[in-house]
Amino acid sequence: MILLVLMLIGGVMDCVYGRPQLPPLPMRNGCHLVNRELGVFRVGGEAVILSFPKFERVLRVRGIAPPTANYVITSANGTDDVSYQGEGRVQQRHKQLWFLPAQASDSGKYVCTYRNETYCVSGSIQLHVYPSDAVDAQILAYPISARVGEKLKFTCPSISYFNTTGRLIEWFKNCSSTGLQLVPFPQSNGPLLIPAVNRSHAGAYMCVLRVLIDNQQFKVSRIVQLSVEGLDPADGTTPAASNPTVTSDPGLSSSFSTTGTPVILPPVIVSPLNGTIFESFHGSGLQFFCEVITGCPMADATVVTWLIDGQSVEESYLNGRALQGGRRVTRLPDGCHIELRLIIVKVTEEDVETRLKCVTHNKGGTQEVVTRLQLEDSTSTWLVVTSVAVLCFLTVVSIFLYVLFKPKGKRKMDYILARQNSTF
């Protein structure tokens, strides 16, 4: 029993001191808000599936998944929010919004809400749909890079939500002024393989998939913009293109252009939120996670770091008490998630109002968020811990005294029977 009491007290102490809590989500109109998803850029006339991976991850990490809650996706493009049913051109299917097909008028903001009688959490995403005859590869392209001589293999991006079983993926390339041309590829559901990259392979590649939804065929296309670094062998000149035999398909030539360089979107910090205040007690430890979403081709080149009062962890006054590391990259349907941890072994009064800054940047741009450390008043915590300990102690003492002085019912009965039998 005493061991049980000690374990209970230890659990309370761990809850109060040893286990860092996730910062609370901001609220608006009684609903917790999740940071906006990465924007989605698509071509009109094609099937589009809108999902909310960041929103889903927040629900999963924070354990926000009440079984009785309703998941509703609405359009916030007008004065009134518009919700969707499971039929029609635009329909909600569980936690996704399907456009069959998408139109330029579908562009705008969409909000997903998870709500029950006591809890509400909401997230949003921006959809951009462009007419097929007025769109540029700079807007739609998924950028990747390779070096001369490298063996390169890349897949058609962001099609995992579609059923591709038995479907042929066609690859096209804008080779020159001759227009878009078909690049034969023998596999029906494989990546495009370039055995040895040279300068002539740079350009925009389009993958086209025909999917069957509700017995109706829809087109799905994606564009990959390949940039090549380095010079070709020999005298450094660029050799002629070494593409296989191609078949012209001018009907698709207006769907994108390769002028200019591809647009690389800046990384987005998902957590923590800017202005978050982390509270801790004197002598306790804390750990923080900087979570960033970026395009997977740029994940390795995306830098994520923690700064303490504007200085690196090693150069700050917390050197020796703080450590950053544990970078982890996770691939999501619409991008890659990068996580970097910061650990403060012991928080002291010196750390009050310390500014913790998470900074991330790549070729697309830079983003940073600033949070602060603050010490909590430990008086109330010690009062709670002491009260629990006293209550547990009194419970143990009461049980012990009850067992010790419990009336011996059976002996009393025997004694009464003995007196009755002795009476004659």
Please check whether residue 14 lies inside any domain of the structure.
yes
pLDDT, greater one: 413 or 334:
334
Q: Which tens digit of pLDDT belongs to each residue from 87-121?
A: 889 999 988 999 999 999 999 999 998 887 778 88
Please check whether residue 26 lies inside any domain of the structure.
no
**CB of 303 closer than 8 Å to CB of 361:** yes
Please check whether residue 27 lies inside any domain of the structure.
no
The pLDDT of residue 99: 94
Whether 183 and 280 map to the same domain: the answer is: no
What is the Cα–Cα distance from 94 to 73, expressed in whole angstroms? 9
Q: Which tens digit of pLDDT belongs to each residue from 306-340?
A: 998 888 888 888 887 888 877 888 877 667 889 89
Please check whether residue 179 lies inside any domain of the structure.
yes
Share of the chain above pLDDT 70, in %: 72
What is the token pair recorded at 51? 């999902």
Whether 51 and 73 map to the same domain: the answer is: yes
Overall number of domains in the chain:
4
Whether 231 and 272 map to the same domain: the answer is: no
Whether 385 and 372 map to the same domain: the answer is: no
Sign, CA torsion 241/242/248/254: negative
Please check whether residue 260 lies inside any domain of the structure.
no
DSSP for 242-296, please give it. -----EE-GGGGGG----S----PPPEEEESPTT-EEEE-TT--EEEEEEEEE-G
Q: What phi and psi, each to the nearest 5 degrees, are found at residue 276?
A: -65, 140
Whether 357 and 398 map to the same domain: the answer is: no
Confidence of residue 16 (pLDDT cuts 50, 70, 90): very low
Please check whether residue 245 lies inside any domain of the structure.
yes
Last residue of a domain, one of 205, 222, 255: 255
Last residue of a domain, one of 255, 280, 306: 255
Whether 345 and 395 map to the same domain: the answer is: no
What is the token pair recorded at 299? 């994940």
What is the Cα–Cα distance from 321 to 228, expressed in whole angstroms? 44
The pLDDT of residue 101: 93
Query: Does 397 score more than 70 pLDDT?
Result: yes
Whether 278 and 250 map to the same domain: the answer is: no
pLDDT, greater one: 157 or 18:
157
- Using alpha carbons only, give the angle 294, 209, 56 rounded to the nearest 5 degrees: 40
Q: Which tens digit of pLDDT belongs to each residue from 252-298?
A: 333 444 344 445 678 888 888 888 887 777 777 788 888 888 888 78
For 7, the domain range is: 1-20+379-424
Whether 308 and 407 map to the same domain: the answer is: no
Query: Does 390 score more than 80 pLDDT?
Result: no
| Mean pLDDT on 24-43 | 82
Whether 269 and 360 map to the same domain: the answer is: yes
CATH of the domain at 121: 2.60.40.10
Query: Does 218 score more than 80 pLDDT?
Result: yes
Whether 334 and 228 map to the same domain: the answer is: no
pLDDT, greater one: 200 or 21:
200
| Mean pLDDT on 391-401 | 78
Whether 12 and 53 map to the same domain: the answer is: no
**Residues β-bridged to residue 26:** none
The pLDDT of residue 200: 84
Q: Which residue is it, tokens 């991330």? A: 360
Please count the CA atoms within 13 angstroms of the CA of 324 that sit on its side-chain side.
24
What is the Cα–Cα distance from 333 to 296, expressed in whole angstroms? 10
pLDDT, greater one: 179 or 81:
81
Among 14-18, 172-176, 328-332, 377-381, which range has the highest average pLDDT?
328-332
Please check whether residue 28 lies inside any domain of the structure.
no
| Three-state secondary structure readout of 137-203 | HHHHCEEEEEECCCCEEECCCCCCCCCCCCCCEEEEEEEECCEEEEECCCCCCCCEEECCCCHHHCE
What is the Cα–Cα distance from 80 to 57, expressed in whole angstroms? 28
What is the Cα–Cα distance from 228 to 146, expressed in whole angstroms? 5
Last residue of a domain, one of 100, 131, 162: 131
Give the three-class secondary structure for 392: helix
The pLDDT of residue 260: 40
> Cβ neighbours of residue 29 under 8 Å, at least 6 residues apart?
none
Please check whether residue 25 lies inside any domain of the structure.
no
Query: Does 58 score more than 50 pLDDT?
Result: yes
Whether 280 and 172 map to the same domain: the answer is: no
Share of the chain above pLDDT 90, in %: 9
For residue 22, CA distances in Å to 277, 324, 350 come to: 11, 18, 23
DSSP label at residue 105: G
